[in-house]
Structure 1
């Protein structure tokens, strides 16, 4: 069984196939009297179904990236369950934090502005400033989550770290974080974008080997190109948000999803979204 976290990925054909899953929002289901128990079961069952479906496809999976909001309430037992499921795949994997991994929302049935946000300490298994090397690629994982907040931040320290990695390795690079780094044309979700993105993009513009950025947080699929970099956002394994809406809304017609990325030895990337079969 591969050791956690993944650090080096070797593949038999000079191509690395990456499965990205994100925003599982799993909660404890111990309290069966909780009025939200049905939705808690749904998120857990959906997560398991996504893993099963993705790994049954006719594509070799070399790495699983989990890009934040693993939980909806910060409890060690929930992470234990997630890591048990992922470890059982025998595929190398790596997990980073999202806002829900460092913040509990009290009264989540209320509008965002009326909820109480409680800062929490991230589970020690969630990674920050972590490198995964392949023969032809470097994957750079940073933590954009800020305890007690919904919005994220790419700190100057993280930007410095990224610059150091990119200065010392000229292999094509993929940056992995939770919060989106380009506007989604949706006012409410863009209020919770990663802060300090102007400085991030300014300093990243020096590195032509930066090819791709993948994130979660938005519960929807979008592809943006900026300064020669392709930025992907990816659906949740659970519920989805309505795209291009200025007010918060669920997309009730969108199934849970996940993203595949094929990293070629030429520095090219192929990527696509799959949805859970109904």
Structure 2
């Protein structure tokens, strides 16, 4: 898939992640109606989407991998901008590929930039891992697009986010990914989901970003599962022609999005 932007205009992306939708719009998780929270995020984004080049969805669209959640998700999205998605550990990749109107795609070309989507979710497992075939494919893609600026999107982070319980779930074979990325000189950033919080780490010169969930957030720097008071949010990403990235997170307003902090897991 190839998209084009006028010269000298930043390519604009929005990252949405960890929506955890149920079969219908009445589903509640950790005290949050996840369809309503996603609707609120989309409402906040409404004015920006007309100028957006890509919506990047980094997994856990569904709470339990059910077909109805993916249908609901697509019903809630605008017809523009273009969309690319990948599965998370709560998703069912096979069901997604059968149900989602927008097919899964590995690569989205955005002018001088290329976004590569990696699958780190392992069926029946919470933690992430990149299959050998995934790493082989990435190596080929990095060679093919060696003259482009590259950003990677993946569900699980490859680096620590300073939460002991979440760090156990990072990409298990992150060292193999690290070796591949260090061999390239055009990796401008890695964007992940899964951890329900805004975090930035420096992976030997490669920035790794996580994004807030469109429903509830995990408490930063926590040893065990814990929710915090931050409302639903998203990440915006501007890609410049010279290879620079501007990015930040936004949270929706209001006090109606307080998660049940007595929740001990899901």
Aligned: 1:148 with 2:116:
no
Alignment correspondent of 2:206: 229
SS at match of 2:246: strand
Alignment correspondent of 2:16: 21
Q: Equivalents in 1 of 2:42, 2:143: separation in Å?
A: 36
Give the alignment of 1:141-180 within 5 angstroms.
Answer: 141-169=117-145, 170-180=147-157
Of 75, 80, 89, the residue aligned with 1:99 is 89
Of 238, 245, 251, the residue aligned with 1:275 is 251
Runs (4+) of structure 1 exceeding 3 A deviation are 36-41, 125-129
Give the alignment of 1:195-206 within 5 angstroms.
Answer: 195-206=172-183
Runs of 5+ unmatched residues, structure 1: 1-6, 103-119
Structure 1 length-normalised TM: 0.84
The number of residues matched between the two structures is: 249
Q: Does the Cα contact within 8 Å between 2:126 and 2:169 map onto a contact in 1?
A: yes
Runs of 5+ unmatched residues, structure 2: 255-266
Distance 1:74 1:38, change over 3 A: closer
Q: Equivalents in 1 of 2:79, 2:30: separation in Å?
A: 25
Alignment correspondent of 1:185: 162
CA RMSD of aligned residues (A): 2.1
SS at match of 2:36: helix
Q: Does the Cα contact within 8 Å between 1:127 and 1:143 map onto a contact in 2?
A: no
Give the alignment of 1:1-278 within 5 angstroms.
Answer: 7-13=1-7, 14-29=9-24, 37=28, 42-57=33-48, 60-86=51-77, 88-102=78-92, 121-124=94-97, 125=100, 130-169=106-145, 170-251=147-228, 253-278=229-254
